[in-house]
Structure 1
Amino acid sequence: MDLLRSLPLGLYLEQPITWLHKLDPRVKLIWLMSFLTTYIFANTLWRVILVGLLIFTTLISGIPRRVWQKQMGYLLSVCFLVLIIASLSPDGMGIDYQPRLPEQQAIEKPPSDSTENPILSIFNPQNYQKYNYVLFAKGPVKVTRNSFDLALRLSTIFFTVLYSTTLYLLTTAPEEITAGIETLMQPLRRFKVPVTEIALTLTLSLRFIPLVLEEIQNLVRSVMTRAINWKKLGLKGAVKVWMTIAERLLQNLLLRADQMANGIVVRGFIGPDKHRVQWHNLRLKTFDWIAILVLVLFWGVRFAIGNEVN
């Protein structure tokens, strides 16, 4: 069991350097916000397009397959399970489904006439396509158009939100993230917003995520090496053991936080504007401008085909 490799949440892939790594963090942040906001008031087609676009970006990014295969596979499996459960759930309409025309209604077929107006022929009831609100019904299992549409919305949103953020953190260093956010938040200084303090807190939070995973991994391994017989312990004994593990985890995390704070103080970081180190010199390059142009086209397509029709 290796949480640091199986669940790379908040981890940065240092090697190999892909074209996603070379993008400006501000451009990638705007792209991330676009993925997280374009599905609002969007139709089902656009939500499915977002999922396909994320998968296509991963395939052409050059990220090793071992890095994204398990994460994408697990996430797609969960999303598919959500799709199935939501499709089989009641749609909440609370109505009886009836055909629009009586079953025994007979429609007289007009005499064939080669001179019939083709425009008037489209109003012939026989030319109407059959519409069924219930897509599948067999026994207690019933899938309607409303439930299937809701299932697609839930599963695609779940995948878009989780995987877009994971891909962003995977290809952007924590220092680049905080530098980009701090640069974009510079206008807020006029309103006396502590931009530097917020960026420093975000940096420490991103650095602390791998430490949390490492502590959890070490505690789980320590429990596995002791070969505890959980059947003999019973429910009460098992709860007591896990409470002890949770207490130890909290103590270790507080100890790590104290060590990190002492390290910051020792290095002279006594204020947000003193002893600051500029990790990255953010400049928009040619490839960044191309990404911005593609982003404009992305939003144009969103408003062209992605609007939800009431």
Structure 2
Amino acid sequence: MDLLRSLPIGLYLEQPVTWLHRLDPRVKLGWLLSFLLAPILASASWKLGLVVLLVLISLLAGIPWRALKPQMGWLLLFGGAIFVVGMFAPDSINVTQQVRSPADAGVEIVQPYQYVLFKIDGGIIHLKITKKSLDNAIYASTLIFTSIYSATVYLLTTSPEEVTAGLDRLMSPLRRWNVPVTEIMLTLTLSLRFIPLVLEEIQNLVRSVYTRAIDWQKLGLKNSAKVWLTVSEKILENLLSRAHQIAIAMQVRGFTTPNTHKVEWHQLKLGKADIFAMFVLCLFWVARFIVGGQFA
């Protein structure tokens, strides 16, 4: 398994440059937060609409399938499993329908609301789908999909430097209260750049263990644990060595503090496409409150 290609963290798609790449990172961050917050207390149709909208955005942006395929496969499988399990799971609500009018009163009883949608109760098989369990299944599966997939699209179309530059601009008012915004953003930049190195070290050492064709059954549980403990120590040693090399490289380039070494971020400037994207985002939230509520 290639960890560097299967995880979206630290994986930035440089080519092709889509219109999502050209958007301001602050605008894209607003859309990302909207996809994370909009499903809260929303109707089932709105949650499903978010999934469709998110997939349409990635398709219209022209993001290559090779970049989305490593995440889409296991994400759809995991989301589908959550949906099936949640659909048949007990909803912890015991609803009993009671006739309020006498049967011989000559009044036709109309049942406008059906709570139990599907039920199998025969032998050892007891399956039931209720409206509540279906809503829970839709909520859990769509929430997992939108949160992970939106973050994947954001990281694929936004470089780590742009992410930190946008956050630095948004957090700049905190400097009035002596919050070290630049130091925090620099740490975040180094962390995002360091994640692929961590994955690379883990991947190389795990592959080196498997290529030796170790007979784990003959080693036993205790000796196998010793092998993986040695591998973990080697991973930690290599990562500390990489971090030390990065620190030396920064010192050689004269970086001590932001006061003596100016940190150059991306020059952020809102364009026409960014203004249009913010206008659509406002319409998105208007639609969310008007037609996307649970009781709308």
Q: TM-score, normalised by structure 1?
A: 0.88
RMSD over aligned CA atoms reads 2.1
- Distance in 2 of aligned mates of 1:247 and 1:107: 81
Instruction: Give the 3-state SS of the residue equivalent to 2:210 in structure 1.
Output: helix
- The answer to whether structure 1 residue 59 and structure 2 residue 59 are counterparts is yes
Deviation at residue 150 of structure 1 after TM alignment: 1.1
Structure 1: gaps spanning 5 or more residues = 110-123
CA deviation map 1:234-265 (0-9, x unaligned): 22222222222122111111111111111111
Give the corresponding residue for 2:295: 309
Give the corresponding residue for 1:125: 109
Question: Any conservation in 1 of the 2:116–2:128 contact (CA below 8 Å)?
Answer: no
Which residue type is aligned with residue 133 of structure 2?
A: S
CA deviation map 1:134-155 (0-9, x unaligned): 5333422222222221121111
Structure 1 residues 198 and 101, CA gap change in structure 2 (3 angstroms):
same
- Distance in 2 of aligned mates of 1:35 and 1:289: 19
- The answer to whether structure 1 residue 200 and structure 2 residue 186 are counterparts is yes
CA deviation map 1:67-87 (0-9, x unaligned): 102311210110111111122
Moved more, 274-283 or 253-262: 274-283
- Distance in 2 of aligned mates of 1:129 and 1:100: 13
- Distance in 1 of aligned mates of 2:243 and 2:14: 24
Structure 1 residues 98 and 202, CA gap change in structure 2 (3 angstroms):
same
Which residue type is aligned with residue 3 of structure 2?
A: L
Question: Any conservation in 2 of the 1:20–1:61 contact (CA below 8 Å)?
Answer: yes
- Distance in 2 of aligned mates of 1:292 and 1:140: 49
- Distance in 2 of aligned mates of 1:69 and 1:107: 63
Question: Any conservation in 2 of the 1:137–1:143 contact (CA below 8 Å)?
Answer: no
Give the corresponding residue for 1:2: 2
CA deviation map 1:80-101 (0-9, x unaligned): 11111122222122x3x54433
Match of 2:142 among 143, 153, 156: 156
Give the corresponding residue for 1:29: 29
Deviation at residue 159 of structure 1 after TM alignment: 1.3
Moved more, 242-251 or 14-23: 242-251
Q: Which aligned pairs between 1:6-85 and structure 2 lie closer than 5 A?
A: 6-85=6-85
Structure 1 residues 183 and 18, CA gap change in structure 2 (3 angstroms):
same
- Distance in 2 of aligned mates of 1:190 and 1:108: 76
- The answer to whether structure 1 residue 214 and structure 2 residue 197 are counterparts is no
- Distance in 1 of aligned mates of 2:176 and 2:292: 37
- Distance in 2 of aligned mates of 1:228 and 1:202: 39
Deviation at residue 271 of structure 1 after TM alignment: 0.4
Structure 1 residues 107 and 274, CA gap change in structure 2 (3 angstroms):
farther
Instruction: Give the 3-state SS of the residue equivalent to 1:258 in structure 2.
Output: helix
- Distance in 2 of aligned mates of 1:70 and 1:232: 35
Deviation at residue 186 of structure 1 after TM alignment: 1.1
- The answer to whether structure 1 residue 175 and structure 2 residue 173 are counterparts is no
Which residue type is aligned with residue 109 of structure 2?
A: P
Question: Any conservation in 2 of the 1:10–1:166 contact (CA below 8 Å)?
Answer: no
- The answer to whether structure 1 residue 226 and structure 2 residue 212 are counterparts is yes
Deviation at residue 204 of structure 1 after TM alignment: 0.7
Which residue type is aligned with residue 255 of structure 1?
A: S
Moved more, 211-220 or 83-92: 83-92
Structure 1 residues 238 and 105, CA gap change in structure 2 (3 angstroms):
farther
- Distance in 1 of aligned mates of 2:257 and 2:96: 71
- Distance in 1 of aligned mates of 2:160 and 2:225: 37
Question: Any conservation in 2 of the 1:135–1:145 contact (CA below 8 Å)?
Answer: no
Deviation at residue 198 of structure 1 after TM alignment: 1.0
Give the corresponding residue for 2:227: 241
- Distance in 1 of aligned mates of 2:148 and 2:166: 21
Instruction: Give the 3-state SS of the residue equivalent to 2:293 in structure 1.
Output: coil
Instruction: Give the 3-state SS of the residue equivalent to 2:128 in structure 1.
Output: strand
Deviation at residue 25 of structure 1 after TM alignment: 0.8
Deviation at residue 132 of structure 1 after TM alignment: 3.6
Match of 1:136 among 106, 119, 130: 119
Instruction: Give the 3-state SS of the residue equivalent to 2:57 in structure 1.
Output: helix
Structure 2: gaps spanning 5 or more residues = none
Instruction: Give the 3-state SS of the residue equivalent to 1:15 in structure 2.
Output: coil
- Distance in 2 of aligned mates of 1:80 and 1:297: 30
CA deviation map 1:209-256 (0-9, x unaligned): 111111111011101211111221222222222222122111111111
